[in-house]
Amino acid sequence: MAGLESRESGQVQSMFGGIARRYDLLNHLLSGNMDRRWRRKAAAALPADDRAVILDLCGGTGDFGLEVLRQDRAGMVLCADFTIPMLEVGRDKFQRQGVADRCHPVGADGLRLPLRTGSVDGVTVGFGVRNFSNLSAGLREIHRVLRPRGTLSILEFSRPTAPVLAGLYRFYLKQVLPRIGDSISRKDGPYGYLAATIGRFPDAPTLAGIVREAGFEMCDWTLLTGGIVAIHRAQKAG
């Protein structure tokens, strides 16, 4: 996670640091393993370029960055997150998979990235933009570090379009996800927080408009799994 500030920032860092070792297991379990498919499709939104430098912002334990490398979308991935225990899990994963020389953990706040202007070829953000304390400022910071004609790929929760699915999904978020997640993680709070942030986040068309206002062009999106998640793709003008 990245971009939260002050007291709330510290609370979120502590919360997700506490579940870092069980984070991947819970992602797979609570999504019915659909998170793997969603990341594959979101990584495929980047141009194929085995020389590119890609910033995986809110990179957590590194699954999105690894998928980018598997698809030869990059020669190097910077996996940036402000929750250090998450990055430590990711670092161990990179070493086990033999890509530690190509996938580098970076401790960073998404509103103040330690990168030069125009220094990366693409940016991925998986389930992270809804945690920015200032969404527009976070998107402008992404725009800053992208090179001209660089690509942004966002994977984020959205809202189901079918009324029946939407009702079931709301019940799952409020009643099921927090109980299962907090029980397995052995921590109180993280998955209630997750459900709350999903519930109040803009839908896909609204998010696309905010991305456009941050300076991006060619903004579009694709809904997956009935609208539960969306892949947003945008480009910096060149």
Binding positions are 61, 81, 109-110
β-pair partners for 121: none
DSSP 219: E
User: What sign for the dihedral angle of Cα 202, 150, 106, 96?
Assistant: positive
d(CA 59, CA 181): 20
> Which residues does the annotation place in the binding site for S-adenosyl-L-methionine?
61, 81, 109-110
Angle at 132 between CA 17 and CA 144, to 5 degrees: 115
CB contact set of 167 (below 8 Å; sequence gap of 6+): none
- Of 34, 3, 26, the closest CA to residue 155 belongs to 34
Residue found by looking up tokens 């609370």 in the block: 11
Exposure string (b/e) for 43-81, b if CB count within 10 Å is 16 or more? bebbeeeeebbbbbbbbbbbbbbbbbbeeebbebbbbbb
- Of 202, 217, 221, 107, the closest CA to residue 153 belongs to 221
